[in-house]
Amino acid sequence: MDDVQRILRRHQYLAKASTAFMYGIMVSIAMNFFWTPGKIYSSGFTGLSQLINTLSGRFLPFSISPSIGLFVLNIPFFILAWKQIGHQFTCFTILTVFLASFMIKSLHPVYLTNDPMICAIFGGVVNGFGTGMSLKNEISTGGLDILGIVIRRKTGRSIGTINIAFNIFIITAAGFTYGWPYAFYSAIGIVVNAKAIDFAYTRQQRMQVLVVTDHPKTVIDSIQNHIPRGITIIHGAEGAYKHDEKTILFTTISRYELSELQEALDESDEHAFASVTEASTIMGHFYEHKVE
């Protein structure tokens, strides 16, 4: 059993390291192929490192490259993550940020187009997908991600307002630096980036599930063996066609767990009927897997 757990742990480490490497490639493509040629600022610390690069080049005798700025800005947050979140989480975050910085520095800009709209959209898609895949594999890309986890653990609240304020600052900086049309293009890029993250990172999306079955106990056992979710049982339902007695099971899962739900139903009751809809708001306790 210990050998199996050791193999699984190594597999997880390899998957996380591979994801960190892929993120480094994708953020460097976004930066060097789209954002830099299009004069587009990204969101978060990546955008802040771009701003520092621009301002240092204009007002200092030297410029601080986005790659160096990105890593240096994250150092205080590495320390925060080490103390407040977990050592493994911090090590993979350092690896991810280092690879991103290294790839941005190593991959020279390729000017495919200077069109700011194209650069904003495609830069946002590429970076957002890479970020979403990182989050899906439980590794952080640094910056405000770390602050968000710490605040949510201590207060139960998100840092949505801080994120919005930070990105407004980046957009405003883009306006003063390159002109206000580029501020709007940067805003478009940030929105596209967020949508791409949501597309790739499904763990935070909540789904409401109703299951109609003739074998409630078997289905419940199967679902809870696959997914750590509570289930509400509604007895006394009646099928309108044959008027036979049915049981309705109600639960809420993340979109990330949808495939496991399908597998659980296939194993327990192939004739079960399930309806899955997106839940816009969840109030009360909803179990979230903690990163370490």
**Average confidence (pLDDT) per 10 residues, the chain, 292 residues:** 68 88 94 93 92 91 92 94 88 94 88 91 94 84 83 68 84 90 94 86 76 92 88 88 87 82 89 86 66 52
Same domain, 67 and 146: yes
Domains contained in the chain, number: 2
With respect to residue 59, please indicate whether it lies within any of the assigned structural domains: yes
Contact residues for 5 (Cβ-Cβ < 8 A; gap 6+): none
CATH code assigned at 227: 3.30.70.120
Kindly state whether residues 9 and 74 are assigned to the same domain: yes
Answer for the pair 143, 60: CB distance below 8 angstroms, yes or no: no
Q: Which domain-ending residue is among 182, 200, 218?
A: 200
Q: Residue 290 has what pLDDT? A: 57
Instruction: Return left, alpha or beta for 44; rule: phi > 0 is left, psi -120 to 50 is alpha, else beta.
Output: left
Vertex 89 angle, CA 6 and 3, to 5°:
5
Token pair of 178 as six digits? 């390159």
- Residue 36: closest CA among 98, 99, 127: 127
**Backbone angles phi and psi of 41, in degrees to 5:** -95, 140
Q: How far apart are CA 73 and CA 171, in angstroms?
A: 19
Residues 167 and 45 in one domain: yes
pLDDT for position 291: 52
187 and 237 belong to one structural domain = no
Distances (CA, A) of 78 to 149, 162, 231: 13, 19, 38
Instruction: Report how far apart the first and last C-alpha atoms of the chain are (Å, whole number).
Output: 22
Residues 19 and 121 in one domain: yes
**Does residue 255 share a domain with residue 158?**
no
Determine the Cα–Cα distance for residues 177 and 171; give it in Å rounded to an integer. 10
- Domain of residue 255 covers 206-278
Give yes or no: residues 35 and 86 share one domain.
Answer: yes
Asked if 176 and 66 sit in the same domain, the reply is yes
What was the pLDDT predicted at 45?
Answer: 92
- Report which of 23, 93, 95, 28 is spatially closest to residue 66, judged by C-alpha positions: 28
Q: Are residues 228 and 269 in the same domain?
A: yes
In a domain, 40, yes or no: yes
Is 287 contained in some domain?
A: no
Decide if 283 is inside a domain: no
pLDDT for residue 158: 61
Please check whether residue 288 lies inside any domain of the structure.
no
